[in-house]
Amino acid sequence: MSDPQVNLYRSRETYGGKFVGGWLPDEGIQLVQYDDLSNLKSTNYWPVSGRAPLYAGPGIHLAPDGHIHIRLEPNPNDLSGPDGKPIPPVPRHLDPNKNRIEVFNSEYLLLLDRTSYLRFEDVTFLYGWTIMDIRNSDHITLDNCVLHYGTYGLVIRDNVYNLTVQQSEFTNGLPQYVYWTDVKNGSRE
């Protein structure tokens, strides 16, 4: 643990890459990707005040030294929903060692450039910033596929023709507490 006051943990190993993302697969949600460690350490839970650090909820950060920092503590203001009823904390354990966590740092899972007549059927694509970046391609089919992505499921650019997506599931697993934190930052809750 690197900061017990806020239940912040740091990896023993170091990792390369530009960013890190993470999922709690048992809950089916993504961890917030914090660009700045000060937000992950913050005890300011709302409202947004300019660029002052803000903790939105369980999240992950890749520090410049290559260590991954993770905090699973819920935002205390997000333990009740808009109707005032309690929302159980997600995850239930604050210690990352007591949770299944899947971490990724791939920017693109697949880059399809000048690709033709490719069919993906019954395939699960997991955990990339972008699952597929498709360019200058034609006759690409996704049939009964699952895409769990960081920020973008599909990016389609430059001369893509006859792209077929059917019976497929797209989710970035954005947790409910992120939406609720955003709502509370307005002048009307």
Residue 37 lies in a domain: yes
Whether residue 16 is found in the same domain as residue 67: yes
Q: Which of 170, 164, 169, 155 is nearest to 119 (CA)?
A: 164
The per-residue pLDDT for range 37-68, each reduced to its tens digit, is 999 999 988 777 778 898 988 999 999 999 99
pLDDT for residue 45: 83
Whether residue 144 is found in the same domain as residue 180: no
Residue 60 lies in a domain: yes
Calculate the alpha carbon distances from 120 to 11, 19, 117, 156, 189 in Å.
35, 28, 10, 16, 43
> Greater confidence, 76 or 142?
142
Residue range of the domain that includes 39: 4-104+174-184
Quote the CA–CA distance of 180 and 90 in Å, as a whole number. 14
**Which of 7-11, 103-107, 174-178, 182-186 shows the lowest per-residue confidence on average (mean pLDDT)?**
182-186
Whether residue 94 is found in the same domain as residue 160: no
> Greater confidence, 17 or 46?
17
The per-residue pLDDT for range 95-143, each reduced to its tens digit, is 999 999 999 998 889 999 999 999 999 999 998 889 999 999 999 999 9
Residue 189 lies in a domain: no
Is residue 86's pLDDT more than 70?
A: yes
Whether residue 87 is found in the same domain as residue 58: yes
- Bridge-partner residues for 86, per DSSP? 80
| Cα 15 → chain centroid | 18
Neighbour order of strands in the sheet with 8-10: 8-10, 68-71, 59-62, 32-33
Query: Are the beta carbons of 149 and 130 closer than 8 angstroms?
Result: yes
Grade residue 188 by pLDDT with cuts at 50, 70 and 90. Answer: very low
Residue 144 lies in a domain: yes
pLDDT for residue 182: 56
Query: Are the beta carbons of 77 and 183 closer than 8 angstroms?
Result: no
Q: Which of 156, 144, 146 is nearest to 119 (CA)?
A: 144
Whether residue 167 is found in the same domain as residue 120: yes
Grade residue 150 by pLDDT with cuts at 50, 70 and 90. Answer: confident
Whether residue 112 is found in the same domain as residue 166: yes
Whether residue 100 is found in the same domain as residue 14: yes
> Greater confidence, 189 or 69?
69
Q: Which of 57, 24, 21, 20 is nearest to 39 (CA)?
A: 57
Whether residue 84 is found in the same domain as residue 113: no
Whether residue 49 is found in the same domain as residue 9: yes
pTM above 0.85, yes or no: no
Residue 63 lies in a domain: yes
Whether residue 23 is found in the same domain as residue 66: yes
Number of domains in the chain: 2
Grade residue 162 by pLDDT with cuts at 50, 70 and 90. Answer: very high
Quote the CA–CA distance of 182 and 167 in Å, as a whole number. 31
Quote the CA–CA distance of 104 and 124 in Å, as a whole number. 15
Grade residue 183 by pLDDT with cuts at 50, 70 and 90. Answer: low
Whether residue 112 is found in the same domain as residue 52: no
Whether residue 85 is found in the same domain as residue 99: yes
